[in-house]
Amino acid sequence: MKLAVTAPDRLVVRTAPVADPGDLVSRLPHPSALAWIRHGEGIVGWGEAARITLPGGEDRFTTAAALLRELFGAADIDDPVALPGTGPVAFGGFAFDPKSPDSVLIVPRRVLGRRDGRAWLTTIGDDADPLSLVHEPHVPTGLTWGDGAMPAHAWGDAVATAVQRIRGGALGKVVLARDLTVHADAPIDARVLLRRLADRFPGCYTFSCAGLVGATPELLIRRTGGDIESLVLAGTTARGDTPGADRDRAARLFASAKDREEHRYAADMVRDALAPLCADLHVPAEPELLTLPNLHHLASPLRGRLTADRSVLDVVAALHPTPAVCGTPTGTAMDLIRELEGMDRGRYAGPVGWVDARGDGEWGIALRCAQLDGTRARLFAGCGIVADSDPAAELAEAQTKFRAMQYALQG
């Protein structure tokens, strides 16, 4: 385990109220952006006071929570604002597969936030003007696209194999993902992608952490004091080209036995994972429709009250991976993903979000995202495969899910 702290041994943290900063993305001074924004509210960060890297393992969430408690517990914190996201905050992303050594938490030197009409700036270390060195964003140009781990026809074959395994009784559902790659003629600026995603998908959680940038509709868990919330999404269709066609697509999704089955697997697992942690848990009897600019989803919002003082990361540990991104039974689905996908997902489909010193935080599932690496980006999309899945339809659904990040890159 490596705990790398780039600030003094004892973090000196000062949070102060500030005037409304306006658009949060526009205040990010350079491309190495940290962000969690929805409907214009949330937090952004820059600089690095501390970084925790985790080599993998089933205990990576609880280990991260323990390391953060140690780091924040030793800090000198002055936080008169005392809202979720004030004081020291760690932005993080965890690998989907526990065998993948790709989990990271970053405590920025500056955090700018806005919530419920109040705004604040948190500073760790010196008091220098955090916006004194501003690098203007550069739009990606000269984009060239290519297949990722496997071409479309090979991925379709993998879906067909998964359907055979499901029909044979090996498992009930598996989520298969594929990737695309794109190269630009200069390093890709995360802020440009954040700006386009936040404008296009304001109801999603637009995020950036250690090069992983995206806009996820799926809230894995929010902890505010003892209260928790989760939003389960499974079952998807593209929007229609006309109002009538759009209504028809939404109605077919809501009535689809295949999509209802896929959703039920995911919602039941989240309920079963949260129930032992909660004194009270509300689970809707049936899903509702969530409509985004490009997609309809089946959605189930869950709300509960924790029985003990657990960090949001402790709850994340109980939830990941959900059937919405893995399948069921979990172990069998994970093994099949490793066999058929032909790639390491990295932090795609893993938890992404933030946690503060009180244990409050918001964590989503890293969907509709891309991993940036200099001039290269790797895009991801996944589909839930059940017994009635059709490879051609799943391939079309994956292509629809790529479009959010293709738009972010191309404009």
Per-residue pLDDT of the chain (411 residues; tens, 9 = 90+): 344 444 457 899 999 999 999 999 999 999 889 999 999 999 999 999 999 999 889 899 999 999 999 999 999 999 999 999 999 999 999 999 999 998 999 999 999 999 999 999 999 987 655 555 668 889 999 999 999 999 999 999 999 999 999 999 999 999 999 999 999 999 999 999 999 999 999 999 999 999 999 999 889 999 999 999 999 888 889 899 899 999 999 999 999 998 898 888 888 888 999 999 998 999 998 999 999 888 899 999 999 999 988 999 999 999 999 888 999 999 999 999 999 999 999 999 999 999 999 999 999 999 999 999 999 999 999 999 999 999 999 999 999 999 999 999 998
Span 2-125+140-410 CATH architecture:
4-Layer Sandwich (3.60)
- Measuring CA to CA, which residue among 119, 347, 321, 97 is closest to residue 211? 347
Q: What is the phi/psi pair of residue 143, to 5°?
A: -75, 135
Q: Return d(Cα 118, Cα 124) in angstroms, integer.
A: 20
Peptide bond before residue 137 is cis, with ω within 30 degrees of 0: no
- Measuring CA to CA, which residue among 88, 57, 373 is closest to residue 212? 373
C-beta neighbour count of 2 within 10 angstroms = 9
Annotated active-site positions, please? 173, 218
Q: What is the CA radius of gyration of the chain?
A: 21
Residues 6+ apart with CB under 8 A from 273: 318, 319, 322
